[in-house]
Structure 1
């Protein structure tokens, strides 16, 4: 069975950093310094990078920060400083695009490989609290502090024809009465969306009919939600540390059915503070819960017993991510074993003007070998690419000179071939011209012979005696 690692972080202070444990043994594997991330601010990018938005100090007027750590080299982060503080983060399943929500209600979308900012727009009137791409990457779902949920088309977000255009949402709901704390999309049915809120409710939405098809009410604020890998149960963490386990029941036979707490199938008790995050192990055998009591708990799904507690003394845990433990291994020194690393670039601080965006060319491949001397050397930017292109255009490099020589040779071969073709055409025309001249010279002689033969004929003694048939034959002979 594949070994797994639990990644957690706090929002207390930057010195708290990121802590990594072995899930089964509880052994401390790694500590990454300088990280303090708000809820929903930590994501794993295609199992190669950890990406975390950083909290902003109280009263600070500076911009935000997003740090990116290669899992095989976690002590060399790529630091990005967007124009404003970023809260929730999410990425597409293929890791090509990263989205971040802010306190001002704006959403930013970046292309990971180039770092280019593709879109920036005012998505909500209040601060964003949750952000998530659908399982098929076709939708971006956002939730705000005032309880509003909006659904956006991913295709429209990638349209770079106008950065300043107002992006239109597909759906907008105000069914929740308080801040959104969780947004989940189904891997089985792309039309199902699950939301939770501090108003003590969880709602199941049908994106096709644009309606709530199930709603469950609790007497406490729901602070985190998750689904098991088979999507049979919905786990709802509350503000008092309890975790409610309910059958998902996402059937669409009945609409807007409200279920109470008494209809819950099971309640897990193991924390003394509000639940801050819920997740499942990659194997699906364990449920992991995090709490404001600075602990994370590992639950065995076969008997729902708490088998291990992880203590995080550096502050409450705001985010948990489960990754394969093998990703933490340093790069292989064996050159015969080649692996590939997903490439990221520094994120743009501002949207690029339309003309600049069209002129820039991304020449970097999406993957690079781990055998490179320095991974950070892969963090190249578009300006460097443009400089290389300019050098080629102005013949400053050996490659440019070689290209010029090759072009001259090709042009010379083309000129030679064209000259041969023209010479052959000239010979053919001269031959045709000589044939025509000989034909014209022979016509008067034939006419004279015909006249003499018909002048001394038995039927007529003079040219006036030629009939119409003879004249027609004579004309045909002249034409030939």
Structure 2
């Protein structure tokens, strides 16, 4: 057995009787874990704070919750006022957002309080994504609109005014099927896919349209690679279109044609492609389809390197950094999940006055924030501890891995020192 993977594939389908979602190793394709109980709705599988796995029950009004390392039992069900159409946890683990019909429900994770119900969409919300710094989230709906929300404006004290979206992106002419937020926090770019056969790329900070790409088919899913060289678009015909964002001939609007400039097609799925995800290093593309398969592609060669069969149409497929707790059977979440309330400012018996907001940091963020070096050291010692236990693999392999990690830590230390020297030179330079 090899060392725990750095990234894992998570996928779910609407037909499996045995389990809800499965964790695969991207390099071997072997199934590592599966979580039991119910089926996940599309765009609703999310990892909360590296400790819990959440997913909306297909066609029902509740959210399933598992502790990451206790896969056999559902820990709790969060009951919602209606069928949950999409679900997303903020990357910092502090907030949870769900689409219920045309409204967005936002909870504070540490207290379980429902902070806000946002009703600015005119029809069902189809997708929700947070920015990587958790400062904003974007919602897309069947009303053809994508809305950008600033989290701080939504978590506000004034109950008399309904929060307004920061931007309303209204250039699609048919329902939005999927959206993706790039990196860089509030400076991110956002891609939206629609039944109007276009994918549009927007600037989050201004809400401006940067690029519109027209296809011959409806587009059901969209994602960038981490460097944003490409946007990948999943068609209703099973094709995946790769569009270069760096080509010389890029105008505001373009029609897709495959060419030598990085505009290519991945062929293999036999039905609509509903989910797309790219690995951290930008080399692998993961796709899930209604043809009941999940495929892993090598982006460089456009070859399908793995095909994982499922029991029904695939509802979620994501590549994600492997949370440490996933492979440590004895670990437990540092913070138990509270009961999530169903009403904004629940009755006084819940404690707290209406309009009151708790600022309650999670337990492990109350100490002083660790530096990157401390994190690297902690990671190194954690990996050593794990490999010492011989949880994974033979001794020889682990020694090599430890050597690699130690080298990595040294490199990080050197980079940190160089950065420090450089910035101190800048700061002390006489003007």
Alpha carbons of structure 1 residues 21 and 200: separation in structure 2 relative to 1, 3 Å: same
Q: How far apart are residue 7 of structure 1 and its match?
A: 1.5
In the superposition, the TM-score normalised over structure 2's length comes to: 0.74
1:358 aligns with 2:353: yes
Match of 1:119 in 2: 116
Partner of 1:24: 27
Alignment equivalent of 1:298, drawn from 296, 299, 302 = 296
CA radius of gyration, larger in: 1
Q: Greater relative contact order: 1 or 2 (C-alpha under 8 angstroms, separation 6 or more)?
A: 2
| Corresponding residue for residue 433 of structure 1 | none
How many Å separate the matches in 2 of 1:75 and 1:364? 31
State whether structure 2 residue 213 is matched by structure 1 residue 213.
Answer: no
Contact map agreement 1:219 1:261 (CA 8 A) in 2: no
What SS does the aligned partner of 1:328 have? helix
2:311 maps to 1:318: no
Aligned to 1:81: 79
Higher helix share: 1
**d(CA) in 1 for partners of 2:215, 2:142:** 19
| Residues 1:168 and 1:326: Cα distance change in structure 2 (over 3 Å) | closer
1:193 pairs with 2:183 = no
Q: Quick one: structure 1 residues 340 and 98, their matched pair in 2 at CA, closer, same or farther if it must change by over 3 Å? A: closer
User: How far did residue 244 of structure 1 move?
Assistant: 0.7
Structure 2: runs of 5 or more not aligned: 365-431
The TM-score normalised by the length of structure 1 is 0.67
Q: Does 1:70 align with 2:67?
A: yes
Work out the number of aligned pairs and report it.
Answer: 354
Matching of residues 343-382 of structure 1 within 5 Å: 343-353=336-346, 356-358=351-353, 366-367=362-363
The yes-or-no answer on 1:243 pairing with 2:236 is no
> 1:274-293, aligned counterparts within 5 Å?
274-293=272-291
Equivalent residue in structure 2 for 1:110, among 82, 107, 111: 107
Are the structure 2 counterparts of residues 171 and 213 from structure 1 closer, same or farther at C-alpha, using a change threshold of 3 Å? same
Cα distance in 2, alignment partners of residues 12 and 178 from structure 1: 28
The residue aligned with 2:221 is 224
Distance change in 2, residues 1:357/1:267 (3 Å):
same
User: What is the distance in 1 between the residues matched to 2:319 and 2:339?
Assistant: 25
Distance 2:194 2:200 in 1: 9
CA distance in 1 between partners of 2:265 and 2:251 (Å): 26
What's the secondary structure of 2:164's corresponding residue?
Answer: coil
C-alpha displacement of 1:340: 6.4
Residue in 1 aligned with 2:175?
A: 179
Task: Classify the secondary structure of the residue corresponding to 1:66.
Answer: strand
Q: Deviation at 1:353?
A: 4.5
Counterparts of 2:343 and 2:66 in 1: how far apart (Å)? 22
* Residue aligned with 1:216, SS: strand
On the 8 A contact 1:161/1:354 being kept in 2, the answer is: no
Distance between the aligned counterparts of 2:149 and 2:358, measured in 1? 27
- Alignment of structure 1 residues 245-284 onto 2, 5 Å: 245-249=242-246, 256-262=252-258, 265-284=263-282
- Cα shift readout 1:367-392 (whole Å, capped 9, x = no counterpart): 47xxxxxxxxxxxxxxxxxxxxxxxx
Distance (Å, rounded) in 1 between the aligned partners of 2:78 and 2:207: 37
Post-superposition shift, 1:317?
0.9
Q: Which moved more, 1:236-245 or 1:40-49?
A: 40-49
Instruction: After TM superposition, list the pairs within 5 Å mapping 1:340-419 onto structure 2.
Output: 341-353=334-346, 356-358=351-353, 366-367=362-363
Does the CA-based 8 Å contact 1:72-1:331 persist in structure 2?
yes
CA change 1:239–1:301 in 2 (3 A) is: same
Cα distance change on mapping 1:55 and 1:90 into 2, 3 Å: same
Q: Hey, what's the Cα distance between the residues in 1 that align with 2:229 and 2:126? A: 26
SS at match of 2:70: coil
Residue aligning to 2:44 = 41
